Amino acid sequence: MTRYAGNAAALRALVREQEVHRDVYVSEEVFQLEMEHMFPNSWVYVGHDSQVPNAGDYFGTTIGTQPVLLVRHTDGKVHVLHNRCPHKGTRITSETCGNTGKFFRCPYHAWSFKTDGSLLAIPLKKGYENTGFEQSHAAPGMAPVRHVRNYRGFVFAKINGGGLDFEEFFGESLSSFDNMIDRSPAGQLKVAGGVLRYMHNCNWKMLVENQTDTCHPMVAHESSAGTVVEVWKKAPPGTKKPMAVEIIAPFMSPYEFFENMGIRIWDNGHGHTGVHHSIHSDYSAVPGYFEKMTAAYGEERAKAILGENRHNTVYFPNIMIKGPIQLLRHFKPIAANKTLVESWTFQLVDAPDMLLERTLMYNRLINAPTSIVGHDDLEMYERAQEGLHSNGNEWVNLQRLYSPDEAEQTNVAVNGTSEWPMRHQFRAWSKFMTMGM
Amino acid sequence: MSMLAEAPLKNAVPTDQELIDFVVREARLIDQQRFDEWLDMYADDAFYWMPLEWNQTDPRLTCSLMYEDKLLLSIRVERLKGARTFSQKPKSRCHHVLQTPQVDSRDAAANSYVTWTAMHYVETRLEEQTLYAAWATHHLSVEDGKLRIKLKRVDLINCDAAFGNIQLFM
């Protein structure tokens, strides 16, 4: 049954000021429309250019559910191509990442393409003479994604023409990327340590919302972080606090901690928790790091960079970054009830290895399929995905600290337990879902 | 000797059979959810390592699925007992099938013994049952007349796949 296709009014009606309809999470039709409209209308994260350092390097990923390739062309420029042979549709690359040399070669009929996607050669080319091939969809080669922006190494792409340009879409939210990158004395990040992949039987938006949900840690994570706190209490007095305890214990901070830490709201669904402080604020100093930062930036600027302790920055639609520990989580939609979560870690170029060590420990303690903290969250998402099928109530409540004039406001910092960021994400969802419809 | 109790070593240097029995007993304690006894099989400075990469050599600057010391392992065991551990309501169960462990190396002078065990591990919760294939490498030593695990390394054949929750110990 089709209820929403081509019906912008019906889609808009799913998002109210203080609640959203369950169909945004459970309807396969709404999911398909997200893939057709919402993702193509948005600037979506593709990858980091350190994943393709040399000409011919490629990395395969998705924009929504569409397969794309991030590739470094011979001129050094990074391109995003639809990962599909223009001939029969075959996926061009056999591995997720690698180096293709000077050209891509389709494994089915050996059509070949330059690394900017343009058609290089077809075997038995004579067979296409006088067939009008030049006017075909296949002639240009692998279709490029036209709108690509490399922001200080982070590559975003927008599939549709029109809509917002990159600066309009992100606005001041790019300051969280700046802070994460500036934490390198060289002002540069590099993907390092390997990617953790975690399959979730729930809608992708549940993960996005959870990044600014500060009322759940002390409840859902009592099982993991609460146990850490209890076990650590039994350690003999004077024992040095292990890195693992420094990382997990702050999840059990009381409501006041999260209320006071603040949330900042930006346009288009972006925002971050941790305006004043965050769960990352009290990590031990890493020997030699501040000295390197001071040498690179001067003491005042180094202090300002490291003084920012943004907890989670959400970039609508589907990534989150943690600046203070250089981590990016990508919530990749697969179906209305299925999401692949990739957690990527970054090395601060020219900084001590211990920082990467801490980043990796955080990633495996919090984001791994073997992580006890991750188990707490996934259990709740999967229960919600099931519970939403109840007809007792078709609406999800997002009312906490609502203010009637909030839709007009932007770049404001509010109480850290507000559900304003989630309401703002859905305002953006509604906007990009129906844009041009 | 019964598998239920820990057998003291007959001599200062363990026999191959004693090493094998020890590894088999470890899997059985996990299957029977006797996690406190299981934890006692680990030396105080032990690590449990589950790499994320095929042939991974570095647990520090390369991410792992697990690289946990005894404090973190004891936190996991305590968590499994918790009243508000919702991801364990209802509880998971697991099942190991081991090939006979092979003794890869024995060095009595260094008090170091290494075994290698191919295994299938099944974890189940509610309607879901998931099969994992892995190799377990045990680095063992003798402490106070008993064998202890210094390092247990679990290499999943599909270590880099996207998994759902893996809640117990392999």
Q: Does the interface ipTM go beyond 0.90?
A: yes
Give the integer Cα–Cα distance in Å for A260 and A254: 10
Q: Which residues of A touch B (CB under 8 A)?
A: 192-201, 220, 222-224, 226-228, 230-231, 242, 244-245, 340, 345, 353, 356-357, 360, 363-365, 368-370, 372, 374-376, 378-380
What pLDDT tens digit does each residue of chain A (437 aa) get? 679 999 999 999 999 999 999 999 999 999 999 999 999 999 999 999 999 999 999 999 999 999 999 999 999 999 999 999 999 999 999 789 999 999 999 999 999 999 999 999 999 999 999 999 999 999 999 999 999 999 999 999 999 998 999 999 999 999 999 999 999 999 999 999 999 999 999 999 999 999 999 999 999 999 999 999 999 999 999 999 999 999 999 999 999 999 999 999 999 999 999 999 999 999 999 999 999 999 999 999 999 999 999 999 999 999 999 999 999 999 999 999 999 999 999 999 999 999 999 999 999 999 999 999 999 999 999 999 999 999 999 999 999 999 999 999 989 999 999 999 999 999 999 999 999 88
Six token digits for residue A69: 């390739």
For residue B35, give the amino acid letter: F
Residue B1: pLDDT band (50, 70, 90) is very low
Interface test with A, best of B54, B61, B80, B159 (most A CBs within 10 A): B61
Candidates B52, B74, B164; nearest CB to A194: B52
B68-103 tens-digit pLDDT = 999 999 999 999 999 999 999 999 999 999 999 999
Give the integer Cα–Cα distance in Å for A126 and A118: 19
pTM of the model: 0.97
Q: Which helix (H) or strand (E) holds A385?
A: helix A372-387
CA-wise closest residue to B53 among B72, B42, B67: B67
Ramachandran angles phi, psi of B87, nearest 5°: -75, -5
CA-wise closest residue to A172 among A412, A432, A369: A412
Candidates A228, A244, A368; nearest CB to B65: A368
Q: Are A351 and A185 in contact (CB under 8 A)?
A: yes
A167, exposed or middle or buried, with CB in 10 Å at 0-12, 13-18, 19+? exposed
A242 neighbourhood in chain B, CB within 8 Å = 69, 71
Q: Are A78 and A150 in contact (CB under 8 A)?
A: yes
Dihedral angle at the C-alpha atoms of A373, A28, A38, A412, nearest 10 degrees?
Answer: -40
Contact B87 A223 (CB under 8 A): yes
Candidates B52, B161, B167; nearest CB to A375: B167
CB < 8 Å from A in window 32-51 of B: 50
Give the integer Cα–Cα distance in Å for B120 and B132: 6
Radius of gyration of chain B (CA): 16
Q: Which residues of A103-141 are buried (b: 16+ CB within 10 A; e: fewer)?
A: ebbbeeeebbbbbebebeebeeeeeeeeeeeeeeebeeb
Residue B4: pLDDT band (50, 70, 90) is low
DSSP label at residue A267: G
A207 neighbourhood in chain B, CB within 8 Å = none
Q: From the CA of A74, how many Å to the nearest CA of chain B? A: 30
Contact A220 B165 (CB under 8 A): no
B5-46 tens-digit pLDDT = 777 898 889 999 999 999 999 999 999 999 999 999 999 999
